[in-house]
């Protein structure tokens, strides 16, 4: 775990973010309500959250690592356990907010389609994760069973990749 990382704040932030973002975003990024109910039940106490920063993907090894890892994880983990959050480093001007959100939704559609990503990605329009993008794209594991949270930054080392995948499939 990285120094300065506060699990409690993360749980609160993620809880707040997901509880506000999921019902509001009835668009293409969300699974249908019935599916959502199944996926968030007590039988899936683990959640994998990708914190995505488009700027970080200018580094090809970061994007490679993310896509490679996503492919591996997809083959082993229930897709409903995976979520993504697109981080935004600057707050939107109120007058441009609607346009900016439309642009980001469009870019996300292109990104997901071109990279075969199926899990939902929410846009952090509230700025909950603002500032986190300094560290680039990351993955957060929330494990309700062991009550542990872990965070890894891309590009992942082979050791980290093994660690995450083992953790997600051993239990």
| Residues lying near another protein in the complex (CB under 8 A) | 58, 60, 67, 99-100, 102-103, 106-107, 109-111, 113-115
- Min dist. Cβ of residue 103 to another protein (A): 5
Backbone Cα Rg of the chain: 15
- Min dist. Cβ of residue 17 to another protein (A): 23
**Which residue, 47 or 108, is less far from another protein as judged by CB?**
108
**Which residue, 102 or 171, is less far from another protein as judged by CB?**
102
Return d(Cα 132, Cα 19) in angstroms, integer.
20
* Surface-to-core class of residue 159, CB atoms within 10 Å of its CB (0-12 exposed, 13-18 middle, 19+ buried): exposed
- Min dist. Cβ of residue 137 to another protein (A): 15
Q: Phi/psi at 156 (nearest 5 deg)? A: -80, 145
Angle in degrees, CA 27, 32, 38, rounded to 5 = 140
**Which residue, 17 or 57, is less far from another protein as judged by CB?**
57
Helix axes 158-170, 60-76, angle to 10 degrees: 20
**Which residue, 99 or 169, is less far from another protein as judged by CB?**
99
Q: Are strands 138-143 and 46-52 parallel, antiparallel or unpaired?
A: antiparallel
- Min dist. Cβ of residue 99 to another protein (A): 7
**Which residue, 87 or 142, is less far from another protein as judged by CB?**
87
Do the Cβ atoms of 36 and 136 come closer than 8 Å? no
- Min dist. Cβ of residue 111 to another protein (A): 6
DSSP state of 30: S
């Amino acid at each position: 775990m990285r120094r300065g990382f506060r699990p409690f704040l993360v749980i609160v932030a993620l809880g707040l973010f997901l509880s506000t973002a999921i019902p509001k975003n009835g668009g293409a990024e969300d699974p249908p309500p019935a599916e959502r109910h199944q996926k968030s039940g007590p039988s899936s106490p683990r959640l994998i959250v990708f914190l995505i920063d488009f700027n970080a993907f200018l580094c090809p090894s970061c994007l490679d690592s993310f896509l490679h890892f996503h492919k591996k994880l997809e083959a082993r983990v229930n897709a409903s356990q995976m979520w993504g959050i697109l981080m935004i480093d600057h707050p939107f001007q109120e007058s441009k907010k609607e346009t900016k959100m439309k642009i980001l939704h469009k870019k996300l559609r292109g990104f997901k389609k071109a990279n075969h990503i199926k899990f939902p990605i929410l846009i952090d329009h509230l700025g909950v994760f603002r500032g986190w993008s300094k560290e680039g794209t990351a993955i957060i594991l929330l494990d309700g069973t062991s009550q542990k949270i872990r965070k890894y930054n891309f590009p992942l080392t082979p050791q980290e990749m093994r660690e995450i995948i083992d953790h997600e499939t051993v239990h």
